A = this chain, B = another copy of it.
Amino acid sequence: MSVDEERRSTRVKRLPREVRERQILDAAVRVFSQYGYHNASMDEISEVAGVSKPMIYAYLGHKEDLFAACIRREATMLMEAIAAGVTTEQAPDMQLWHGLRAFFQFVGEQKQSWRVLHRQATSQGGPFSEELLAMRGRAINLVDALLVRSATTRGEAPAKSTEALAAALVGASESLADWWLDHPEVSDKTVASWLMNLVWMGFGDLVTGTVWTPTPE
């Protein structure tokens, strides 16, 4: 071992495991989002992270495990960002607005995260779609809880459609975020307000009982 190598090895060893793991995951998200899962190489991730391949394998496993760990971490960060934006003291429309704002802010600031989470994980399929499904499930529950609270606050029994509408809103948000990746000239606030305007009146109706009905033909 040369002096240089020894010095580097000593320095590397001093880093606590969580710091090392964060370095690896940061690098992996960058490389996966740039090259896609299939074309991303562990050599490249190792180089970007400044962590040797054997150490990556020891800490986070092989490419498939590493990719799954990226999805889990980025999904958790996204959910935390949304939860941090919303407090239950706010009026229902403001809760939804802040939730949407937080979502599009996260996607805008963490475009690499979103690419890995949504585009890469979707196009890779297999075990990764399980991780994605779990994340979607959590997001749907969050919105569902908001809609149920919103109805019960007004002293009404929540409609049984809240979970379905929560699923619709999550799908709409994902799809719109995907559209937005190709239209970066639009601000995150504008995108959020489009979606808010699209759905809020509908959610409001759900609570007040106003309905659209087809005109007789």
The chain A residues found within 8 Å of chain B, CB to CB, are: 91, 93-94, 97, 122-126, 129, 136, 140, 161, 163-165, 167-176, 178-180, 183, 186, 191, 193-206, 211-212, 214-215, 217
| CB pair A180 B164 closer than 8 Å | yes
Copies per complex of this chain: 2
Question: Which of the residues B163, B186, B200 comes within 8 Å of A212, measured between beta carbons?
Answer: B200
Given the complex of chains A and B, what is the CA–CA distance between A199 and B169 in angstroms? 10
The SS class assigned to the A binding surface is helix
Given the complex of chains A and B, what is the CA–CA distance between A203 and B164 in angstroms? 19
Given the complex of chains A and B, what is the CA–CA distance between A84 and B174 in angstroms? 28
| CB pair A179 B163 closer than 8 Å | yes
Ordered by A's residue number, 24 sampled pairs between the chains whose C-beta atoms are within 8 Å are A94-B215, A94-B217, A122-B129, A123-B126, A125-B125, A125-B126, A125-B129, A136-B175, A140-B179, A164-B179, A164-B194, A165-B198, A167-B178, A168-B175, A168-B194, A168-B195, A169-B172, A171-B173, A196-B212, A197-B206, A197-B211, A198-B202, A199-B202, A201-B212
Residues of chain B contacted by A174 (CB below 8 angstroms) = 171, 175
Chain B nearest CB: distance from A7 CB in Å? 43
Asked if A168 meets B176 with Cβ closer than 8 Å, knowing A123-B126, A214-B97, A215-B94, the reply is yes
